[in-house]
Homo-oligomer: A and B are copies of this chain.
């Protein structure tokens, strides 16, 4: 029986969105979702839903790590926070995964302190699905922001972790690994890329070489490896561009009565496009390299995004991603 632990207090719309997402996930996936946080608030939210037959046990935690707090300081001082308590439940073996929409630096710190790294892994990395023109509709990109300054050997390990995630969870045989750079040629890129490229070439991974920013959505590679600074700028940049295009389009349509009708006729196509670009569909990032399944979602997640983040946790548990990485890095 899969037991996922959810930080009921984390995120801009918690606990309303988190509890709603937990109810939704428990029903859709037939799993137990443990809710960690302030009992009275969680119970009040639970009362709004029909939870008959669902497994939604409550784990009390009196404190909350807020969005603006300094991650490691907060994790050290707030021992009874939903994040620290939630990770502790996983550490104790009473749950197989921890999911949070809260302070992502805090989640990283709580996971590192509480669960530790997989033996041999130098740095955990945050991986995320990104919409692309592939069979699954996605590629897997890491690091999305856990490590802003990295060494070449970290990138090699990110590639290894991405390989196992893509193989196990995305069910891609021999996933193609690409290193994000400023050109395909080996002499392009910065000093970091120039040192990391030979490491990837010498590895057993299916390394297809360096790829440019424009190649990420084309699905040239199944796994895109980058440092957490570049990855974060890339992902947020993509989000900004998609949003700008929608804003521009809406504004131009609004100014043209015929275009308004046109857009109504094309609504089905536009809705599919929106869904494909919607981060809520894949629900959150996977923190790879720690000793346990940890999913970190967007702070602004709504109930649907929370539901899907829990699904991502379930898939990581079912496919034993942690075990695969452990065997891969030490094998």
A contacts, CB < 8 Å to B: 68, 70, 131-133, 145, 148-149, 180-182, 185, 187-191, 193, 212-218, 226-230, 232-245, 247-249, 252-253, 255-256, 258-259, 261-270, 272-273, 276-277
Closest residue on chain B to residue A253 by CB atoms: B269
B149, A191: Cβ atoms under 8 Å?
yes
Given A182-B232, A233-B182, are A268 and B252 neighbors across the interface (CB < 8 Å)?
Answer: yes
B240, A237: Cβ atoms under 8 Å?
no
A265, B258: Cβ atoms under 8 Å?
yes
**What residues on B are CB-neighbors of A261 within 8 Å?**
262, 265
**What residues on B are CB-neighbors of A226 within 8 Å?**
233
**What residues on B are CB-neighbors of A189 within 8 Å?**
148, 229
3 nearest CB pairs, A to B: A262-B265, A213-B237, A213-B236
Instruction: A237 to B276: give the CA distance in the assembly, Å.
Output: 17
B241, A217: Cβ atoms under 8 Å?
yes
B182, A229: Cβ atoms under 8 Å?
yes
Given A264-B262, A269-B249, A269-B255, are A213 and B242 neighbors across the interface (CB < 8 Å)?
Answer: no
22 A-B pairs within 8 Å (CB atoms) are namely A145-B182, A149-B190, A182-B232, A190-B227, A213-B237, A214-B240, A216-B237, A217-B240, A217-B241, A217-B243, A226-B233, A230-B230, A233-B234, A234-B234, A248-B276, A252-B269, A252-B272, A252-B273, A253-B269, A258-B265, A262-B265, A263-B269
Q: Which of B218, B230, B277 contacts A229 (CB 8 A)?
A: B230
Closest residue on chain B to residue A227 by CB atoms: B190
Given A242-B241, A244-B218, are A268 and B259 neighbors across the interface (CB < 8 Å)?
Answer: yes
A239, B252: Cβ atoms under 8 Å?
no
Assuming A213-B235, A213-B238, what are 17 further A-B pairs, CB within 8 angstroms?
A148-B190, A148-B191, A181-B233, A182-B229, A193-B229, A213-B233, A213-B239, A213-B240, A214-B239, A217-B243, A230-B233, A234-B237, A248-B272, A252-B273, A256-B266, A258-B266, A262-B265
